[in-house]
Amino acid sequence: MTAKLCLRCDWHGDTEEPRCPTCGARPLFVAAPPGDRRPPAPLEDPVGSEHPPAPRDGHGRRIRVAVAISVVALVVALGTWISSDPAPTSASGPARGDGGAATAAAGFLRAYGELDADRAIGFLADDADLSLLVRSIGAEDVEGTEREFRWYVDLLGAWRYQQTLGSCDEIESSDPDTVVRCGFDYDFLGSDDLGLGPYTGSSFDVAVRDGEVVSVSKFWAFDRFSREMWEPFGEWIASAHPGAATRMYQDPSRRGVRLDLGSIRRWARYTDAFVRLKVTQRVVPHDDG
């Protein structure tokens, strides 16, 4: 006979029956020997019980291993999903890899407007032609080489050029090139310091192929700027510094400029001098009387 107990009605005694002789509950549990604090174990798996049987050791290990593998797979998948989430792009420079013609055009023109020749060149195709862009200032005998483009950007700096880029829209697409037109406003020759400008209505046409800029042309809205800044500056430099003027302009008409290092240095020096002069002329002397 085996000492057993019933957890339902607290019956205990010796019996070989699987059910409690008092209440009929099953299973009965083997009573623990004196001093043994382990909970009593059932003699057999309860058939029809609402709780499933405990797994045997080997099968339990397989289940635990499978669960562990599933958890690891979930963590790896979650990490991959997080790392594949694209990082936000900087507003100062759009990404070039998306292949968008308008994106490439805007990226080049923002760098150009910030007078960052290195960054602008990074948007160019190896065979890009910038001759039309460089000639837009009236420079002659230029081929649009990288050196000429760098001088051109330096000349813009000497002119105190400031640019506000507008929207860029595709206006033409003929395989393999897409032409993007971008509007812009500008200040020039210190016009902002003199309370003039910005001058509106200008635009760039940028041809893009496979996400790279291949050519750029520039249309200047020049009428108001010419009246307010270009012509007054030309008259002043020709009168006050005629020797310098011959090294800065292509010819006496003062329509085009020379593109070389000596011309750039003179434009920087005399643009500053012209702005200081105009600012001084605007100062009204104080009348003590």
Report, as an integer, the average pLDDT of 146-152. Answer: 94
Determine the pLDDT at residue 199.
97
Query: 2 falls in which pLDDT band (50, 70, 90)?
Result: low
pLDDT band at 172 (very low <50, low <70, confident <90, very high): confident
Residue-level pLDDT at 202: 96
Average pLDDT over residues 262-268: 96
Q: Which of the two residues, 206 and 36, has the higher pLDDT score?
A: 206
What percent of the chain clears pLDDT 90, i.e. is strictly above it?
53
Look at 237 and 44; give whichever has higher pLDDT.
237
Q: How far apart are CA 190 and CA 268, in angstroms?
A: 11
**pLDDT digit string, tens, across residues 67-101:** 343 433 433 333 433 333 333 333 333 433 344 99
Burial of 91 (0-12, 13-18, 19+ CB in 10 A): exposed
Q: Which of 187, 215, 199 is nearest to 105 (CA)?
A: 215
Sign of torsion, CA 123 128 134 136?
A: negative
Given a contact cutoff of 8 angstroms between Cβ atoms, the answer to whether 276 and 189 are in contact is no
pLDDT at 140 over 90: no
Indicate if the pLDDT at residue 198 is higher than 90: yes
Amino acid found at 210: D
Residue 253 has pLDDT above 90, yes or no: no
Confidence of residue 15 (pLDDT cuts 50, 70, 90): confident
The distance of Cα 32 from the centroid of its chain, to the nearest Å, equals 72
If you average pLDDT over every residue of the chain, what do you get? 77
Asked if 152 contacts 132 with a C-beta cutoff of 8 angstroms, the reply is: no
Report how far residue 108's alpha carbon sits from residue 14's, in angstroms, rounded to the nearest whole number.
95
What separation, in Å, do the N-terminal and C-terminal C-alpha atoms of the chain show? Answer: 132
Amino acid sitting at position 145: T
In whole angstroms, give the CA distance from residue 271 to residue 245: 12
Domains of the chain: 1-41 (no CATH), 101-221 (3.10.450.50), 225-281 (no CATH)
- The fraction of the chain above a pLDDT of 70, given in percent, is 67
- pLDDT at res. 57: 46
- Rounded Cα gap, residues 268 and 75, in angstroms: 61
Q: How far is CA 6 from CA 3, 41, 48, 51, in A?
A: 11, 12, 18, 18
pTM of the model: 0.63
Please choose, from the candidates 162, 163, 137, the residue with its C-alpha nearest in 3D space to the C-alpha of residue 151: 137
Which pLDDT value is given to residue 97?
Answer: 35
